[in-house]
Structure formats: C-alpha cells, structure tokens
Structure 1
Amino acid sequence: MNPTNTNLKLKRYLSWVFALLLITGGCKKEEVTDNTSFAIYYTGMTDIGPSMSGVIASPTFIGAKPNSFEILSISLDGATYSGNSFEINKDNGSISIKETTGIPVGLYKITVSCYSNGTRYEFKNAIEINMMKPVPDGITVEPNKLTVNYSDIIDPQSTAELPTAQVTTNKNHVSIRKYEIAKSDFSKYFAISATGVISIVRGDATLLPGKYVLSLKLTTGASKEDEGIFQNAIEIDIISKPLSLIYTPSLGKIEEESALSGKTSFKSNVPAYKGSMNDLAYSIKSISPATNKITIDPQTGVISVPENHGFAAGQQYKVTVNAKNVYDQAGVDFNDVFVLDVVKFIEPIQLFAYQNKNATQAVAFNVNPDAGFKGDEVRFEFIELPAALQGKLSLSAQGAISAVKGNTIPLGAYTIKVKATNPKNESIASFTLTVGTNPNYFTYVRYGNNLGLAPAENYANQFRIAVGAALSTVKPTPAATDAKVSLTYEIRNIQGSGTINAGTGQITLTTVNAASCGVFMVTATAGKGTPEEYAVQTPVFIHNSQAVNAAVVEYSPFVFQVNPNTGGRSTRPAITGVADKTKFTMDYRRTFNYYNFFGTQLSGQPTVENSFIRGLFDKYAESKGTNPNYGSRDPLSYYANQANLTLPLAYLDASTLELVVNPNKWIYNGEAANGAMVGQITFGIDGKDPQGGSGLFPIVLWFDTKF
C-alpha cells in the first residue's frame, strides 16, 4: 500500500487486517456500591475472520479514571465460553484479540469489571465481537488485482470505462446468495452488485490515490449462519502522477540571528501530498532570490534552514518544489508553494493551557486557549486524539477547539492533548472534555405503516389510502420514539400538502393527487428554544391508491429504500383491474422529481438548472455519446435501454415490473443521492412499449447510503 502519511498508512493497514466496522455503545452500570455517577464506553469490533488479531481501544468514561480492569466472563452465542483469545490490559482496559486460529465462530460478548475512586463496577456484555467463519474454498475474484487511473475515477463527467472484477465459484460448487463489501475506512469508494460484480464509485472527491485491499462478506446459503468473510479478496491500485502539494502553513518565519535571538533554524511541517507514493521524491526546483541555505528532505518534503544561515530581517524567499514518482519521472513543479519570511524576533510560546470543559451531548461548544497564552507563528495540532473524537472536533489556526450543533460525540470523559509549535519552542496542553447526557437527545420518531409490514422500523412512515377512500381515512400519528421528553412537531410539504398537530405529531392530509404519492418531512424537536434543543427529521410517505382506467398498481412497500452505491431491486407490484396481466407493461415516462433530504443537492426536475437529477441526466447522455434531453424518459427507461440495461439510472424490469436501481448511477460531483425521487410511470395492456399509455406514480425511491 502507498499511504500519503503515517496515520493513513496505519489506518489502511488495520483496515486490511481486520475489515472493521466500528460502533460505539454505552455500557450500563450493572453493580454499584455507592451513588457515584460512573460509566464506561467501549468501541466494539465486528466482522473479524479466523486467524485475525487486533486490539479494542481503551474505553472512554464518565467519572473518575478507571483502573484494575478484569474480564469476568465471556459468552459465545449466549453460552459460557472459556479460552485465551481475549486479554484485557489491567491498567487501561484495552482488549487484545489473539490466537484466533480455530476459534469457534459466532457472537462473543465480554463482561468486564473495573475500579473507580475505590469502588468496583461491573459492566455486562460491555464488548461484542462477531467472529465470522471463512467462506468455502473455491470462491475467487477475477481478476484479483485492478489498476485504474485516478483521473478516470475522480471526474464525475468522465466517460472512461472503469475496470470491474467478478466474484466467481469453482464450477459453481456453491451458490452465493448475498454479496457485501466488509466495512472499512475506505469501503464507501467501492461497490458490489447483487451478482458479485465489484466496481469503483466514480466522482467521490475524498478518494485518494493508493492501494486498497478489500475483504468481502458473502452469504452462501439461506440463513445468516452461512455468512462468511473472504479476506483480502481483491487489491485495487489507484494510480496517478503527483497531483497536489500543500504546506500548512504555507508561510513560515525565521528570526535573523542576533544577540537577542541567538542561533536560529527553521523546519516546515510535512506537506499534504496527493498522488501515488511509488518512488516519490521531492526536490527544490528554484528559490527566489537564490540561496543554498534552504534545503528539502527528499523523502518527507520538509523544508529546513540550518543555523548560521546569515539571513537578515525583511528578506523573503519563495520556494518552488518538484515532486516526482514512478508515473511522472520528470515530476510536477509546484510554484512558490512555500514562502519564508525573515523577521527580527518571534515571541516564544508561553502559558499555553486550556480549562476543562463540560459539554452537553449534541450541543455545540468551543474551547479557547487561556487568556494568558502568548506566542508568534504558532501551529496547533491534536496529539493522540481519542478515536471517538476523530472527525468530530475542529482545531482552528488560533488554537480554538469546537464541535458543531448536532455532533455525535459519545457520552464520556476524554483527555484532549494539543501541541503548539513555533520556531522558538513547543508546548503541550491537555484538558478533560466531559460530554454529559442531554435530556433532549433522541434518535428517532417512527410513524409505522398501515401495510402490515414488519418489523415496523424497517418499513416506517408509509401509509396507503385505499382505492375509493378519502384522504381523511388516514391520519399518520407517531407510533414510537426514544425521546424522553415531550416533542414539538412541524411539517414541511414536499409533494402534496397537509398540516400537523404540534403536540401529538398527527398529520392531517389535505392534498395528495389520485394514483400518486405524497412526500412530507416532519421535524420533531425536544427542548425547543433552549440551548440543549435537539431535533430529528423524519420523512413520511403517502400513496393515494386509485384506479386509472380500471388498473390499480400497488407496491408493498411503495417506498423503495435503496443505497445509491449498491443499487437494488424492489418487490413486485400487485396488479388488479387488468384482464390479461401477461400483457401489462410499465415504464418510466416523465415528471421526474428529485427531493433532497439530508444532502447538499438541489431539488427539482431535470429541467431545473444545476439540479441534482439534471446532472444525472447529463452523465447518462455522456455515457451514450449524445446530447442531454431533459424531457426524455430514456435515463430511467427499460425500453430505451434494452440493449444495455447497465446504462439507465433505474428501470422497471419488463418481466417482473420490479424497479431496478443500477449501482453508482445516483452520484454527482462526488455526492451520493440523499433524498427521494418520484416519477410518472405509464402503463399499457397490449404487451407493448407503454410510452403513450396512462400515467400514475405508484412508487417512491428513497436514497440513503445507510440502506
């Protein structure tokens, strides 16, 4: 693998070894001998294969620092288990997983104890580990190595054909029922279809060049017990020339050497490099004005100046750096990528400290360095930031630490270390961030469904108005929530109209067109108007099922929840009122409305400039080498794409009338669809292309990468 820095290298290495899915959970206090408020929170490791090893990090905690950890018991699928594969660090509570060769597969739950302030606590089932069996022999990926140019992937407008690989079995000795990519830090960049085709997601701006090794989760039978892990199934090498080089900061300062300053020197930060790491080498192309006192480390790119440089205050040097790798031997010049100013004096870092911070779950906060802090040209960086905080805290150029409203930092106490560095000295400050319970925090409101679909949480928030019934016969009302306080409800009419009872959340429908679907967004707020205010948004869908020329089409569920990266296939619809169902045909025709829910895309039809779905129509046209037609059915039509059904964004399978969503088609400018699409479908009763048939809107596509 070719990482861009040490942290990324470690992160990817662990992903190769473990194929991890990290989840955070709280452990309830099981035995307490006093009234002290104390709890610990472990990060769980799942999806581990045989012969794998690893470490589950130390828990975070509320209360005094715990110690004297012990494993009290281990269960395997509910039965007591004894073995030496799990060991706990008595001092910090981290758990090592080793000697897993031959270990039984199944779900392991570990109960631990510890002491805090002299009090002993027990935490039942604090950690869960899913040990998966390997897949049967004879399953391979062909080819098991792919090489692809970064420029072909990152450009969402690119029409270059990306390579794919196929999961195969040895002479079909075993059938594979379900294909998944094992979760990792980079699994989102890749997809696998329902037939085992592994592909690369095009247009995600966060993807970096490098080697990625994927493991697969495969189900080879009819039950979850037949699920196994295919370790290191395929290596995908994304190659490129040097693409970018950024020094942060890009302006450095060095003191002139004097009686006041003494001998001075300078070192820049390691630059952020983007490109393949193979045979990467840095060199200085030019310095203006010329000097031989500024040098660069060819391996790291660090720019430095030794003592006895002789620079004088007021001078400025601009450095152009050349970076080359195996894919560009001449290298790429990054002009004036770093500037060094010479000054008389730099204030050393003094009195660098933070005060401990008590924060509230999901509430924004800010922590600044103490008022007495001094220092010029200071650079700040986190040191040993706990995993639970990574990606959830911001550190400004002034040393301010913040988290946004709605942040997902778990409950617990965290030690945060920040290093401040300038050319004179460095200092490390640490403080404790304690995230306490927000009485207003909750995660869901579910309206359920009236279709008889279970479990309700998998098919929530969809209601059908029966043929011939009035809108008033359906009044969706919240059926479940984990909120512990009263909620205030508001509604946004997206397609259709209705009102909501602010106290109960009951929806009264006023307009949903016949043979069509309504889309509404309900916002439930706890503690409205207080600093601890917290809100959850829930989409609610309505199908007004009415006959069109005697025909009734009903999908159950009529909300097709689909991951835009992987695609999928809906259920078959129930068709009534048709004499010969074998000649009943359907196809998408017009009025394609995309509604953004939680992304940044612009809602609207393809005719709307800069709308998300317009971009998808553009991509479809490019794939066919034609000009986009924003009034055409073709990007979602079966009949317009019969020769190649991998081209459309989605289509209705002519043989089953199931709605098929093709993988990686609902992504534009690197952002996957996160909303709903409702389009008109026309039907015919003569077995032919129904392009001129009667129209209805019987199904909603709901996109989310969490599905």
Structure 2
Amino acid sequence: MNYSKKCKNKWRFGSKWLAVALALLSVVAYSCDDESDSADDILVPSGLRYASVTEVYEGKGMESAQPVIFSDSQPIFEIAGGVAEDNGVYIEDVFTIKDSTGVIKLANDNELVAGLYKLDIKVTNKAGEGNFASAFELRILPSSIEGLQYAPFKQTIVRGVEGQKTTKPVFKGTKPATFSLIEESNFVIDAATGEISLPVDSDLEAGNYKLSVKVSNIAGDTEFSEVVMVNLETKPYSLVYTPQQYLDVQQKQAKKSAAPTVKGTGPFTYALKDNYGEFTIDENTGVISLPENHALEINDYPLTVVVTNTHGSVEFENAVSFQIVEIKAVLPSDLQYSTTSYIVNEGFAFESTQPTVVGTTPITYALVDDKGAFAIDAATGVISLAKDNTLAVGDYTLSVKATNVKGEVTFADVITVTIQVATPEVVFEDGWDALSAVTGEKNLGNMKEVSLETDPVQASNNKWNYGWGNWGVKDANNESARGAIMIPKKSVNDDWLYAENIDLTNYINSQLDFAAYSKYGTDANNTLELVISENFAGNVETATWINLNFASVHNFAFSQARTIDLSAYDGKIVTIAFRHKSFLIPEDNGDPKNLSRTTYIQDFKVSGLRK
C-alpha cells in the first residue's frame, strides 16, 4: 500500500484525542485513498508498548495483554532476546510470543527463578523491522513450597547399615529450600536435600514410622503432615531365652529349652556356633535340644546362638546355658500297663499297650520269663507275640524287669494273656428269625431292601409281591422257618436285599454263610446275583459292586447252604447284597409269562476270627 506525504503527516501529527485512541488499540494499521506512494514512504513498526510490569509467582504461568504498536501493515512479533535481574536467571525459549498479536506466554511449571525479567521484542512489517529493547518486563516473585512428595511413599531403611536413606523429595516452589522434621524423632533429615536417614548407632525399634516435614524458603514455611512412611527394618536383636540358664541337667538326661523371643525383621533362622557335639537347634523356632543318653561331662555349657534374617547374621554370645550335673538316679517304680488282661486266639499275633513307669530315664525292659514265645521291646516295654506262635491254650501271667543307672526292679504279674482256641465270631446276621409278616412292614430284620423297577405291593395275607418281604420258607433240613422272599409276579423287577456296613476291621478269615433256593421261571429271564461293595453310601446305583460267585440254588424245594470266602475283605467295612432281576428278552415278544421266578433266603450270616 502506498501513502502520500499528506497522509503521512496526518499519521504523525494527529490531535491528542487521536493519540489516546491509538493507545487503546491492539495493532494500528492506517491507510489513505490518496495516490500510491513509493516503498520508501511506508512506516516501519514503532511505539511498541506493553502494560506495566507484570508479576507472577515462581513456577506459575502467565499470559500478557496484547501490546500497542504503530504499524501501517500487519506486524509480526518475535522475542529477540532477554535478560534477568535481581537474582533471576534468563533461560532461552521459556517465554513464547504469538507472532500475529505479540501476546507473551509463560507456561506453568516453568524453570524460571524469582527475579526481574526483561524481553527484547522485534517487530517486522512490510516496511521493515523495529527492535524494542526491554519492551516487556515480568517480575517473578518467590513461591511458597507446595506438592512435596517422596516417591515411593513407603521406603525401607535398614537400621545399623551405612548409607541407608530415603529418596530426595520433589516439590514446587522457590529454591533454595531447607528441610526439617516437624516432630522430635530418632530420624534425621538433610536440610539441603530432604533425604531422611537414621543414625547408625540408633536403637529404634523396627516398624513403620510416618514422618512430617517442614520446608522453608524465602516465601515462608510450609508443613507437610505424614508425607513419607519409613519401614524400619533391622538385623536380629534382643534374643532372649527364658529361662536363660538350665541348671541341674543330669548326665544322660534329655532336655529342651523354651523357644526364644527375638526382635528385628523376620523371618529368622537359628544356628548354634558350637554345639559341643550334642546340642541341636531347630532352625525355625530356636528351640535347643539335648538328647537322651548324651555324652556331655559334668560342666557348664554356654551356647552362642546365630540368628539370621535377610539383612544378615548376628551372634548372641551366651544366649543360653546348660549345667550338666551328676546323675541323681531314682530306681524304676510304679510300672503299669493300661490293659492288664488280654485274650488272644491260638497262633495269632498280639501286642500290649506301652507301660508307664516312674524313675530316672533311660529305662530298659526285659521279661522275667518269656514262656518260650513272648517278647518285649527293651526301649518301650511293649510285650508281643508273633503270628503263628506255638503257645498252647491257657493263661500266661508275665513279670517285667525294669533297669536304669540306679539298678533294676522286678514287677511281678503285670499282665495276663489268655490263649484260646480260635473260634469265629458272628459279625452280622439277618435278624428276621423272630419276625413275621405284618401289615405295612417288610420285617427284614437287620437287612434292607430297595426296588428299582416295579413298586412292591402287599397282598391281603401280608405277603409282599414285586419286592422283598418277610415270609415262611424252608430251611436246609426242609423244616419251616422265617426268611425273605421275592415274588416277581410276571413283571419286570430289579430288587435288592442288602446287609449294610459290615465292619470287618478287627477280623480275619471272614466268611459269609447263607441258605437260599428258588423256583419257577427261566434262567434266560431271571437272575440272582450276590455282590459286595466297599463304597456303598446309601444308593445301590452309585456304589461300586463286585460279584461274589456261588453255586446255583435254583430248582430246589428247600434251602441250599453256601459259604463265601470274604478274607479278601478282612480289615474293611463292606456292604453285601442279593440282587434279584426279572426281565424280558427279544424271544418273549413282550410276553412276561417267564418272569415268575420266586427266590427264598432263609439264612444270612457273616463271621470271622477276631484279631
């Protein structure tokens, strides 16, 4: 744009009211409609003015107002340089300027310290450039401390170790700053860096300590409550055994200490520096043991215990001591077996209870007369018989001799063992002999039943159909007796008769004796199984069953006796069941006429030899 001299004079020498108006404008651009002037007539930028000195606290951001500039075309602003006074330190590129408006900005969290800052501004337009020294001034004031932070909040210091301290804290505010701890404390703080430590010779207990810090600078004091937690860890210390001395421990006598207490950062492990060849220590509890029959001479034995944790090992000299003295022996007395009478089957093994006795240990035991077969454990006093011994039937009374360092004592007739002829005992029997058919009752004694197919129905004469029930049967001598019968009535049936939880725990040579017979029906349509389970829990369908084979009892008019060897189940708890099934086969073409087999159980008994 060209300007005439007349127009230029208007710009330079306008009235006062025009000058005031111009001072209020952000950027003044002026043009006339006169004839064009040459480039030499264009005005370069002049009269740059910012508002009076701006103040801001250290670390805080600011934004200036738009300045006044005389320019007849769009001015372009830039920072040409700057200086700092009053202890300020100028840093390049911290201040920024918007080139189109001249607005100057300072970002939050900037690094400038307190002082007076002056910026040189260069303004350029189409006519050229103008340089304005110290055109903008900013006073940065000291800032109070804020945002003090130790990272992490919880920090570990190990007592007694050189160089242990927290990290330096970070904060906002005018530096330099000085640090101090608010409360009286065993900890110390570096006034210049804020690092917290503990004197090496401190005896402060291990634990967590929350500390409050005061930070001071030119702007004043600021307090930060519980700004850091110190997790104070230590090597082991203050090991204490109670009692510390174990006096009058007799030669060869066993002895144990109590578990000690120890302070510091756990977990701990324990060791003995010198065990004198006899002492041992539990590495986890610190309990010290001296075994029976130890070989220590009469003397005092102070022990140094070494306790270790993650921070190292500490020796505690004379932590505990044992005084070994001469044996003050007491003869064995009051020897007693809790059970004094035993009944044992001929040829069976036997073992007594362990006796109690008063007297100086160790005590050894011997039989006065072993009757040619008995033995006794010399250390425990347990009397025994071996399996397949040849002792004859009869009563055997035994006397025991107990010996210690003081001498020996004989205890006469302490137990009696009766050897008897091995006679099987009944462990389980059916229990229906004295029962009869009753309305609404199965009356199966100790046996139980369940029907998985057709529901049982009781006839008017109280006989049960489609399920097991009490009724008259024939015994092995073809005599009338009570028993259990199952009548399928030409229908599909799956019926169980079982003896639950037969306890063979204390028996050997166990066996099942039963008597049964069946009539009618074809083998292709009717079966009777004998099964056994070790995991029956009330539901026949979920238990595991194993077949017990037996000779058929079908097509007989009275009971046939059968014996089943159960020795494979000695020592166990079992359930034994009869399972009667009547079912159709393809050849029946749906005709149930062959589902007619009636089963009779007259006797059911389990026995064994008691161990």
Q: Is TM more than 0.5 here?
A: no
- Which structure: greater strand fraction? 2
User: In terms of Rg, which structure is larger?
Assistant: 2
Normalised to the residue count of structure 2, the TM-score between the two structures is 0.23
Normalised to the residue count of structure 1, the TM-score between the two structures is 0.20
Ranked by relative contact order (alpha carbons within 8 Å, sequence separation 6 or more), the top structure is 1
